[in-house]
């Protein structure tokens, strides 16, 4: 990514620029997703070059700055499985980092949108897109790293004071992690900011010996957007390793 592209991430939102009626209908924006549209350049710095979204895509896509951080944990030519690839926010950044990506989503519309968005970033040839259920495909998948950003149950996830691993969709976080570990111990998992951090070490204890673990709070302009767990070889050489909930406030 070039410096000029990166600088778009901090492009100031145009003050008081409301969403014109024609813009909303053209881009499929509902009252629920309007606030995410206002953050569109933080989601995709190349938004104006033809990015396409649907409603779930708007509220689920990983902000570009965070997706770049995730991708920095991979080495060139790694094979990365993006198990819940959505509209492509993470798959695009893994591909831009030089990895080959298997991008899986159960929703054919998401896969269409992700293919379009990968073309906007010029990385489509580094991504194999699959419409399918990750849990059904998992036994036949091989890869160096698995990236997990499953559904959190929609924007109302934050109405819950402490989000537990049992609340992840379509299956609880423990089962998801066990299915994934059968592919590789090198796992990156993007979770809600209100995740119960006391449960997090339990995931590494599912392996013997326990997997190395790093917990990274993901801030965008001082606003905590989510929490990333790194396991196995994706842990940084000198990790800021903590599971203390106080670190996230
Ligand atoms: P948010 O909390 O809905 O937005 O989502 P924001 O702007 O922090 O809301 P505020 O009103 O608290 O200011 C924050 C980020 O979480 C989104 O940009 C997505 O990257 C991620 N995210 C949100 N949801 C509901 C999901 C989800 O279901 N799955 C995944 N993988 N990521 C999600
Ligand atoms: N990281 C993505 C957002 C993922 S949102 C991005 O940056 O764009 C979670 C996605 O999981 C949704 O698109 C949803 O369609 C998909 N999904 C839900 N259940 C699934 C399953 N069983 N297998 C694969 N994908 C699934």
pLDDT digits over 213-239, tens only?
A: 999 999 999 999 999 999 999 999 865
The per-residue pLDDT for range 180-189, each reduced to its tens digit, is: 999 999 999 9
Query: Which of 113, 110, 74, 108 has the alpha carbon at shortest distance from 93?
Result: 74
52 lines ligand 1 (CB under 6 A): no
Question: Angle, nearest 10°, between helix axes 108-120 and 89-96?
Answer: 40
219 lines ligand 1 (CB under 6 A): no
Q: Across residues 188-203, what is the average pLDDT?
A: 98
User: Which ligand is closest in space to the CA of residue 36?
Assistant: 1
Which mutation among 33, 54, 59, 85 tests ligand 2's pocket best, with the greatest number of atoms within 8 A of CB?
A: 85
**Digit-coded pLDDT (tens) for 8-30:** 222 323 322 344 544 554 466 88
Q: Give, using CA atoms, the residue closest to atom 6 of ligand 1.
A: 225
Domain extents in the chain? 2-248
pLDDT at 152 over 50: yes
Lowest mean pLDDT among 50-64, 165-179, 216-230, 232-246: 232-246
- Indicate which residue's Cα is closest to atom 13 of ligand 1: 223
**Among the four given CATH numbers 3.30.830.10, 3.40.50.300, 3.40.50.150, 3.40.50.2300, the one describing domain 2-248:** 3.40.50.150
- pLDDT tens track for 59-111: 999 999 999 999 999 999 999 999 999 999 999 999 999 999 999 999 999 99
Answer yes or no: is the C-beta of 192 below 6 A from any ligand 2 atom: no
For residues 2 and 242, what is the distance between their CA atoms, to the nearest angstrom? Answer: 32
Closest CA to 181 of 215, 154, 141, 217: 141
The pTM for the full model equals 0.90
154 in contact with ligand 2, CB cutoff 6 A: no
Distance CA 50, CA 118 (A): 10
Cα Rg of the chain, angstroms: 17
CB of residue 113 inside a 6 A radius of ligand 2: no
pLDDT for residue 210 = 97
Q: Which residue has the higher pLDDT, 4 or 190?
A: 190
Kindly list the distances between the CA atom of residue 235 and the CA atoms of 146, 179, 195, 239, 241, in Å, as whole numbers in the listed order: 13, 20, 19, 6, 9
Question: Is 61 near ligand 2, meaning CB less than 6 Å away?
Answer: yes
* Ligand 2 atom at minimal distance to the Cα of residue 57: 8
């Amino acid at each position: 990514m070039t410096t000029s592209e990166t600088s778009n991430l901090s492009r100031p939102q145009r003050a008081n620029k409301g969403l014109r009626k024609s813009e909303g209908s053209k881009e499929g924006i509902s009252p629920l997703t309007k606030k995410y549209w206002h953050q569109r350049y933080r989601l995709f710095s190349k938004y104006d070059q033809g990015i396409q979204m649907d409603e779930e895509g708007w509220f689920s896509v990983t902000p570009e700055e965070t997706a770049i951080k995730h991708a920095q944990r991979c080495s060139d030519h790694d094979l990365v499985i993006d198990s819940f690839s959505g509209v492509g926010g993470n798959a695009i950044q893994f591909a831009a980092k030089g990895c080959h990506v298997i991008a899986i989503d159960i929703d054919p519309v998401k896969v269409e949108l992700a293919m379009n968005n990968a073309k906007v970033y010029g990385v489509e040839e580094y991504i194999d897109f699959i419409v399918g259920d990750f849990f059904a495909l998992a036994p036949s998948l091989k890869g160096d790293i698995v990236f997990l950003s499953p559904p959190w149950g929609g924007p109302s996830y934050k109405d819950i004071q402490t989000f537990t691993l049992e609340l992840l969709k379509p299956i609880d976080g423990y089962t998801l992690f066990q299915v994934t570990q059968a592919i590789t111990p090198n796992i990156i998992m993007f979770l809600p900011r209100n995740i119960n951090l006391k449960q997090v070490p339990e995931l590494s204890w599912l392996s013997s010996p326990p997997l190395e673990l790093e917990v990274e709070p993901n801030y965008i302009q001082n606003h905590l957007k989510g929490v990333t767990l790194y396991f196995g070889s994706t842990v940084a050489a000198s990790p800021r390793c903590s599971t203390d909930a106080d670190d996230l406030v």
